[in-house]
Structure 1
Amino acid sequence: MSDNEWSDPRLPDRMEWSQPHHEPPPSRGRALLAAAVVVLVLLAAGGLAWRLMSNRGTPVAEPSAAPVPSPQQTAPPCPDPKLRVAAAPEIAPVIEQAAATLSKAGQRCSEVQVQAVEPGLVLAAKPQPDVWVPSSSGWLAIAKAQGRTWATSGTPLAWSPLVIAGPEAISTLFAPEGKTSWSGLMQAAVQERLPAVRMSDPTVTTTGLLGVYALNQATAKVTPDAGIAKLQALTLRSRLENAAVDQAEIFRQMAAESDSNTASYDVGVFPTTEQQLTTYQKTEHRVRMSGSAPADVQVDADYPYASRKGAPADLVKRLRAAITTESVTGAGFRVAATKGALRPPADVRLLLGPAKQWSDYKAVAFQVLLLIDASGSMNEKITDRAGRTATKASLLRESGAAAAQLFGAETSIGMWYFGTSRASEPAHTEEVSFGRITDATDGKSRRLQLAAKIGSYRPVATAGTPLYQTVLDGVDEMRGRVKPNTATVVVVLTDGADGGTRFTMTNADFLKKLTAGVDPARPVPVIAVGYGPDANMPALQGMAKATGGRTIAATNPADLASGIAQAFLAAHATS
């Protein structure tokens, strides 16, 4: 993993550390007038840097306009702090309180500077702080994968379980009988029983990082096929109202609301920590919130105290000792891990993989034509990841039914099958007419029609594979539907090579026809999924390259669902 893989373009190039100090004593003379101007410039720059680094954390007050102080009111600027601390926004006040106790009476400048910064932003910041208190030990593992090692001191300072929360007015929708679950949240979102679901960015925040991890673990518990479990987890991503919500902002919004119905639609349901929910509940607000830890998979935010090599060891130790159990519990944190809660995985890829996939999803106006191979080879028997004997077709039915739920309301879709057993038959048949996925025809939404058709998918044993002709026809069909600000793609899934029909042509002839039809003003990328070891991957790579698309190899038929998930993400990333 490269150092800049999770860099954020919104960050300044360097982390600036403004120095807090007490009110300065009266000056002795006018010789410090120039120093006063310098102080004002430094303070203004420091305030700007503080706001930039805190815009994903706790609110920071805007500096008020003030007259230029007289020379008698100025003092030399404070030196750089000896110890720079970055802490997750919710625990930063506890660290600041401890840091204040290290200053001697009357001391104007503090040796310790604490900034409230979301963990993912610290990863990308320069310079790195001396002490880091992220909201999960998982961030230290991610930092290590980037080549940055942090030494922890003792057990974590605090713990706080993740909860699913929302306005009390809709609690029966996301917490029936007072209990929440990740699987229940996903189902409620898919069935549109919730006004809105929001999550924070998993590449920046702990609620996002651990929330996505827990959701994937929850789907894996009830689904033997890992690829299908991944598809189900991504289903919630496709339904999110906001996938990069600012956690502090959402609580500020709730605090400002006066009507519970308005809050239910404006704020909706979201994962947070018990500490953040409890802190909100302790204060009287007109709109009350409720929530609980998901019953299917529980995870804790933990707050390790970590220092980098070269940090002033004595000051690091003194600050750690100044953080008391009373201050931690008083702020709403726990002092022990939740019994039965999952710990961050030892393999950091298990955190990064789902988070990166989640973050890479792109909600766009989306038009897709699915081309599904219905030739006889799809009836071949295989062994799936759970060790079950199945056929390629049965895996497609199972994976496709899960995939049908992934497409968001902004999607327009159609589906063809291709495979002919008689010379008189066409190269392909339309199984689901093209249109908006939420529109109803014959009393049933197109999404339900898609799921039903895939569920009844039965390849013809004697059918050949008119792959090339179907792709040419599909691209031509979708080229006529291209419109501005909309991704228009063709997704083709096949387990073999073109042949066995009257439409058979050479790869050279196919590419010549395909390339001749390419129109830069009306791009239609082909996303080609090669299913099984017999798929003609060079041919699929050729059609993807000619159209600006992508090729995905599901060499092991048991990996079909993962291949479909990749195709889905690739299609949504096309713009």
Structure 2
Amino acid sequence: MGRHSLPDSRAAEGRRDRPSPRRRRRTVVIATLLVLTVATGTAVAAKAGLLSFSRSCEESTVRLSVVASPDIAPAVRSIAERAPAEEMRADGRCLVVEVLARDAHKVAESLAAGDEKPDFQVWLPDSELWLERAKGLGEGVPVSPSDSVASSPVALAVVPSASRKLGWPEKTYSWSALVAELGADRVRLGAADPARSATGLLALAGIGASSARQGGDSDTRVAQTAKALAERMSDGDAQVLGTLARSTSGAEEGNPKRNQAVLVSEQAAFAHNAEATGGGELDLFYPRDGAPLLDYPYTLVNEADLSVAESRAALRFMTLLGDRDARAVFAEHGFRAGDGSAEDSLVAAAGGRKPQPYATPAAEAPSAKELRETLGMWTITVQSARLTTVVDASGSMATPVPGRGQSRMDVTKESLIQALEQFTPNDEIGLWEFATTLDGDRDYRRLMPTKRLGDPAEGGGTHREELTAAFAGLRPVPGGATGLYDTTLASYKEARSTFVKGKFNALVILTDGSNQDDRSISRSGLVAELKALRDPERPVPVIAIAVGPDADRDEVAEIARVTGGDGYEVSDPAEIRAVILQAIMAAGQNGLVAQE
């Protein structure tokens, strides 16, 4: 089933010239709505109350609760007020829509956890990236996305004195060149936390993609950019605008605590300029290699549990958000149409001007994997990590990986060495291996201590170089079985006893099988021990990765979750690097970093 289209009045306007493959791939499962509008046709639509009736609204109503991103909530609320005023109906009953403003990252985390039944039926996040976050490990509340109701590109807003130094509006830049120019001219740049802001994350991903196209050591350049952004980071989009110099006075703009440029959406700049006085309006730079879009997908929440009346109300409101009057309301609030097309008057009010490439087709949306890696890089860069890596060396790790001509161990080693490149010299990483009777009666052996990658090694070089060699030297133990439980307990105890405040402390365990040591502690005993050892003031989450078809994801997940971590499953060891970054990001979002 393809992505559901809005009614003809909206669809007739066309689509973006170059829709991204990710956007085309997004599947939609608004089954009830499609039954109403396609399977049974106009007669059912009339019976359902999608056409107008004159019966008094006092007799019956159907209520719909919508949670929207704070930036778009006022516009959606204004449109929703039309429903009772014009006696709009769904299922023969008058439609009443309540619109609540909530941060998208908080909603996504709540849905992914699935701990409580949502108190709303429709969600309008500012970006589809939150839909991936809301899915979590597939155990949360399901979401069903449809088309975008509006959009806004991510751009660079600059105070006038700094924009003139950068050659605005005549001079244009790619993302990577723009960031480099800001650093060269020492223009103070601020951004919202990419872990909490779609604007911040999409901008950072855009900078990374632009830097990669430039070639050279792009990872280092992007990490440097992330580090600089972290020093001037705000919690959210509204807060980052508050960090700007508020006047053109020399004292204000010379204040080192005040930013001269911020990464924001066009709509945020529009709203800021509408209220700015005394020359406080912002100028916008649009990257010539394409600005990513905030796309505001209309999303059903827990669709299977919606009543027929709620489903029909959701369709009626989706139709309302796509009509001519609604589009005018969105434009009045600074939003583009859902296809990203630009109106010159809106762009001018936001601070854009030709020849800035504000009408250039939007950059292709980054994939879910690319976003996970960007967030993982961000977490690693701004929060130094202390990781103990524990690798399964049992005989089954010699099993060939289908289609690769390498064993599980070979591919695992390559993935770990690649992941190591993402860490800075201040990050601390160690290595253990495990298999039954590996070291006398013990199932585990510490190969490298957990210490700074930049520390000098005894024989010359650095700890990073020693660790790389240790990863490369891992070998399966012939006849060795998986001694998972004793190893987990021993490595967790050490990670907890050597805990370092101010860093992201974690234990990364990779295994291709379930516990096979009959002499070890039981699973229930291990869980009880870990639960007793866990200290919220000194968090050490376990990131447990089940590798290959023989691994037990449920087993490692149960063990990891006791510590505040989680279990992951990869069919191909080549996926390990991305999963480690994803897991670090997820744990960092959950506040598992002890402060100094």
- TM (norm. structure 1) is 0.52
5 Å-filtered alignment, 1:257-336, equals 263=256, 267=259, 271-272=263-264, 298-299=291-292, 309=320, 327-328=345-346, 330-331=348-349, 332-333=351-352
Post-superposition offset of 1:199: 2.8
2:245 aligns to what?
252
Instruction: Verify: 1:544 aligned to 2:560, yes or no.
Output: yes
2:486 aligns to what?
469
Post-superposition offset of 1:529: 1.0
Instruction: Specify the code of the residue in structure 1 equivalent to 2:200.
Output: G
Instruction: Verify: 1:373 aligned to 2:392, yes or no.
Output: yes
In structure 1, the residue corresponding to 2:245 is in which secondary structure? helix
| Cα distance in 2 between the residues matched to 1:510 and 1:141 | 34
In structure 2, the residue corresponding to 1:491 is in which secondary structure? strand
- Contact 2:456-2:462 within 8 A present in 1 as well: yes
In structure 2, the residue corresponding to 1:369 is in which secondary structure? strand
| Cα distance in 1 between the residues matched to 2:456 and 2:260 | 27
| Cα distance in 2 between the residues matched to 1:507 and 1:234 | 43
5 Å-filtered alignment, 1:198-237, equals 198-201=190-193, 207-208=199-200, 210-211=202-203, 214=206
| Cα distance in 2 between the residues matched to 1:516 and 1:308 | 55
1:162 to 155, 160, 170: 155
1:530 to 534, 546, 551: 546
User: Residues 467 and 361 from structure 1, CA distance in 2 versus in 1: closer, same or farther, beyond 3 angstroms?
Assistant: same
Structure 2 unmatched ranges of 5 or more? 1-27, 29-63, 83-100, 109-119, 133-142, 298-316, 335-341
Over residues 63-113 of structure 1, what are the superposed CA-to-partner deviations in whole Å (9 max), with x where a residue is unaligned? xxxxxxxxxxxxxxxxxx99989xxxxxxxxxxxxxxxxxxxxxxxxxxxx
Instruction: Specify the code of the residue in structure 2 equivalent to 1:512.
Output: G
User: Residues 422 and 316 from structure 1, CA distance in 2 versus in 1: closer, same or farther, beyond 3 angstroms?
Assistant: closer
User: Residues 138 and 570 from structure 1, CA distance in 2 versus in 1: closer, same or farther, beyond 3 angstroms?
Assistant: closer
Instruction: Specify the code of the residue in structure 2 equivalent to 1:543.
Output: I
Instruction: Verify: 1:519 aligned to 2:509, yes or no.
Output: no
In structure 1, the residue corresponding to 2:433 is in which secondary structure? strand
- Contact 1:491-1:567 within 8 A present in 2 as well: no
1:41 aligns to what?
none
| Cα distance in 1 between the residues matched to 2:330 and 2:253 | 42
Post-superposition offset of 1:459: 2.0
- Contact 1:202-1:355 within 8 A present in 2 as well: no
| Cα distance in 1 between the residues matched to 2:454 and 2:376 | 23
| Cα distance in 2 between the residues matched to 1:308 and 1:389 | 53
| Cα distance in 1 between the residues matched to 2:505 and 2:368 | 32
5 Å-filtered alignment, 1:397-546, equals 397-406=413-422, 412-419=428-435, 424=440, 427-436=443-452, 439-442=455-458, 446=463, 448-449=464-465, 452-453=468-469, 456-460=472-476, 462=478, 464=480, 465-482=482-499, 488-499=505-516, 504-506=517-519, 509=522, 511-512=524-525, 515-516=528-529, 518-521=532-535, 524-545=540-561
User: Residues 482 and 235 from structure 1, CA distance in 2 versus in 1: closer, same or farther, beyond 3 angstroms?
Assistant: same
User: Residues 214 and 135 from structure 1, CA distance in 2 versus in 1: closer, same or farther, beyond 3 angstroms?
Assistant: farther
User: Residues 146 and 6 from structure 1, CA distance in 2 versus in 1: closer, same or farther, beyond 3 angstroms?
Assistant: farther
| Cα distance in 2 between the residues matched to 1:473 and 1:181 | 47
Post-superposition offset of 1:482: 4.3
| Cα distance in 1 between the residues matched to 2:332 and 2:523 | 72
Rg comparison, structure with higher value: 1
1:553 aligns to what?
569
Provide the aligned length of Structure 1 versus Structure 2: 434
2:35 aligns to what?
none
Over residues 276-328 of structure 1, what are the superposed CA-to-partner deviations in whole Å (9 max), with x where a residue is unaligned? 69x9xxx999xxx9996657665367999x99839997798699799996744
Structure 1 unmatched ranges of 5 or more? 18-52, 54-80, 86-116, 129-133, 224-228
**Equivalent pairs: percent with the same residue?**
19
In structure 1, the residue corresponding to 2:533 is in which secondary structure? coil
Post-superposition offset of 1:329: 5.8
User: Residues 351 and 377 from structure 1, CA distance in 2 versus in 1: closer, same or farther, beyond 3 angstroms?
Assistant: closer
- Contact 1:235-1:405 within 8 A present in 2 as well: no
For the aligned residues, what is the CA RMSD? 6.7
User: Residues 391 and 300 from structure 1, CA distance in 2 versus in 1: closer, same or farther, beyond 3 angstroms?
Assistant: same
In structure 2, the residue corresponding to 1:534 is in which secondary structure? coil
In structure 2, the residue corresponding to 1:512 is in which secondary structure? helix
- TM (norm. structure 2) is 0.50
- Contact 1:432-1:449 within 8 A present in 2 as well: no
User: Residues 317 and 388 from structure 1, CA distance in 2 versus in 1: closer, same or farther, beyond 3 angstroms?
Assistant: same
| Cα distance in 2 between the residues matched to 1:296 and 1:367 | 36
Post-superposition offset of 1:528: 1.4
Post-superposition offset of 1:530: 0.7
User: Residues 425 and 168 from structure 1, CA distance in 2 versus in 1: closer, same or farther, beyond 3 angstroms?
Assistant: farther
Instruction: Specify the code of the residue in structure 1 equivalent to 2:533.
Output: D
| Cα distance in 1 between the residues matched to 2:247 and 2:455 | 34
Post-superposition offset of 1:371: 0.9
Post-superposition offset of 1:333: 3.0
